[in-house]
Amino acid sequence: MLLESLIMVNSPIKKHCMTDSKNFRKQFWKDRKMVGAMAPSSKFLAQKMLRNIDFSTSKVIIELGPGTGVFTDDLIKKMPKDSTLLAFELNELFYKNLDARINDPRVHIIHDSAENIEKYLVQYNLDKADVVLSSLPLAIFPEELRLAILTASKNALKPKGQYIQFQYSLQAKRLLKKFFIKMNIQFTPLNFPPAFVYTCQKNHE
C-alpha cells in the first residue's frame, strides 16, 4: 500500500491535479471578478453537469469558463467524432494551459468573452448549438454582463437546446426562468463548495 501511495503521489495524473488546484487558488485570489471558486469542480459535479446531454445528437457544444478543463476532458471523451466543442476561457493562464494541453481537432479553445458566442459559430461555419455548458460565476458578475451572456447563450442555441449551468446558490433560478422555458435543479453536495446544477431548455420557436 505504501508503494502504491508513493506511485500515486508522484504520478503525472496526481501532479496534474495538484497543479490545477494550485493554479485555481492563485487565479481566484488574483481575479475574483472572473473566477468564482477556490478549487476546480469535482468529478461528481462533472457527472451531473453532463448527465442530461444526449451525445448521440449533440453536434455543436459550447463550454463557457472551462477553467482547468474538468468538464472539458469529460466532454471530449463523450463527444462523437463529427461533433465540435467551442470552449470560451477569458482567464489568460487557464486559456494558455488548455490550449497547450488539448490537441483535438474537434475542440477550439477561444480566448474571448462568452458574449461573443455567435461570432465564433459563424467563424467556424457551425449551425446553432445543441448545448451550452456554463461554469461562469453569474452571481458575481455585473447585471449587464449576466444578461449579455445569457442572451448570447440563448440566441446561440437551437430550439429545444439545453443550457446547463452550475452555481453555489439558488439565486440564479429567477434569472434563468426569464430566458428558458424548462428548468431542472439538482444539488451536488460532493463538491467544494457544494453546488446546484440548473438544466434548462430553450423554447421551441
| Residue 175 domain boundaries | 2-201
Q: What is the dihedral of CA 25, 27, 30, 34, to 10 degrees?
A: -120
User: pTM value?
Assistant: 0.81
DSSP code at position 149: H
| CATH classification of the domain holding 178 | 3.40.50.150
Task: Kindly give, in sequence order, each residue whose CB lies less than 8 Å from that of residue 112, ignoring residues fewer than 6 positions away.
Answer: 88, 90, 119, 120
**Rounded average pLDDT per 10-residue block, the chain, 205 residues:** 35 43 45 50 91 96 96 97 97 95 98 97 98 95 96 97 96 96 94 94 85
What does the pLDDT read at residue 205? 64
What does the pLDDT read at residue 107? 98
What does the pLDDT read at residue 204? 77
Q: How many domains does the chain have?
A: 1
CB 60 within 8 A of CB 51: no
In sequence order, the β-bridge partners of residue 109 are 87
- Grid coordinates belonging to 143: 447585471
